């Protein structure tokens, strides 16, 4: 079961302000990095991609939380802050850093109940947890599942195809890049526990496999899958 936050939820105006804060924080993170650094190498290291990813995760996590009986307010606020530190902290430190930023924001912008703040920062801190997601609060599970799902499907496929240009690859490598998305999706099964998230994953993988088959039909240099 999810946590029980009895107090009033976050208003639409407050949530809109949180989104603006996160967007501006990400933009400042890139601008403050000397010479752009690693943040400029790939599209997913840009502030605009990271913010788009966050919005996708907010939508997915909210839907999963609603259907699985988690606290939607905790889940969506944790989702909007989960990668706020992604462009300034190391990968293995960004969750903890994001939790600190969210805690400071929530304790200085409004009068949110302590139980709500604690639940949100706990989900942000644990969203990179690599163990069994069912060991975590349901709100954190929903966040992790949504985070994984956004990397699988049309969004993840488009980004890996863009990566070919950055790596000076030929377009005939498209099949290989799309296969990476499929592999990510299969690996994601270990991070998916709810029926809602599993349904999303199934649909997304089906579409990616169909797209790979389309590539194989129209790009002669891509070898088709072997038949048994």
Alpha helices per DSSP H over 87-220: 94-108, 114-125, 138-149, 154-166, 174-188, 195-218
96 pLDDT band (50/70/90 cuts)? very high
Output the six-digit token pair for 146: 């949504």
Percent of the chain, pLDDT > 70? 85
DSSP letters along 179-204, please? HHHHHHHHHHGGG--SHHHHHHHHHH
For residue range 14-73, what is the model confidence (pLDDT) as tens digits?
A: 999 999 999 999 999 887 665 444 445 566 678 888 999 999 999 999 999 999 999 999
Instruction: Inform me whether the pLDDT recorded for 75 exceeds 90.
Output: yes
Cα gap 38→185, rounded to integer Å = 26
Report CA Rg, the chain. Answer: 19
pTM: 0.86
pLDDT score of 80: 98
Instruction: Inform me whether the pLDDT recorded for 124 exceeds 50.
Output: yes
Domains of the chain (ranges plus CATH)?
A: 12-130 (1.10.3210.10), 154-218 (no CATH)
Cα gap 27→24, rounded to integer Å = 5
Cα gap 78→117, rounded to integer Å = 9
For residue range 212-222, what is the model confidence (pLDDT) as tens digits?
A: 888 888 876 55
Shortest CA distance to 19 belongs to which of 8, 11, 31? Answer: 11
pLDDT score of 76: 97
pLDDT score of 39: 45
């Amino acid at each position: 079961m999810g946590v029980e936050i009895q107090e009033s939820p976050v208003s639409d105006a407050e949530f809109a302000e949180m989104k603006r804060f996160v967007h501006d924080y990400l933009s400042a993170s890139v601008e403050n990095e000397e010479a752009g650094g690693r943040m400029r190498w790939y599209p997913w290291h840009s502030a605009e991609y990271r913010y788009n990813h966050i919005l996708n995760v907010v939508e997915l996590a909210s839907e999963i939380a609603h259907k699985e009986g988690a606290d939607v307010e905790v889940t969506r606020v944790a989702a909007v802050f989960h990668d706020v530190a992604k462009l300034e902290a190391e990968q293995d430190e960004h969750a903890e850093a994001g939790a600190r930023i969210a805690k400071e924001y929530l304790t200085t912008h409004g009068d949110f109940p302590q139980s709500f703040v604690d639940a949100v920062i706990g989900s942000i801190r644990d969203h990179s947890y690599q163990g069994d997601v069912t060991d975590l609060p349901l709100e954190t599970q929903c966040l992790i599942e949504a985070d994984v799902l956004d990397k699988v499907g049309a969004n993840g496929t488009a980004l890996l195809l863009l990566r070919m240009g950055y790596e000076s690859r030929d377009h005939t490598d498209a099949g290989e890049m799309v296969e990476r998305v499929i592999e990510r999706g299969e690996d994601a099964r270990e991070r998916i526990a709810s029926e809602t998230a599993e349904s999303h994953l199934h649909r997304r993988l089906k579409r990616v496999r169909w797209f790979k088959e389309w590539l194989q039909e129209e790009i002669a240099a891509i070898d088709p899958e072997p038949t048994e």
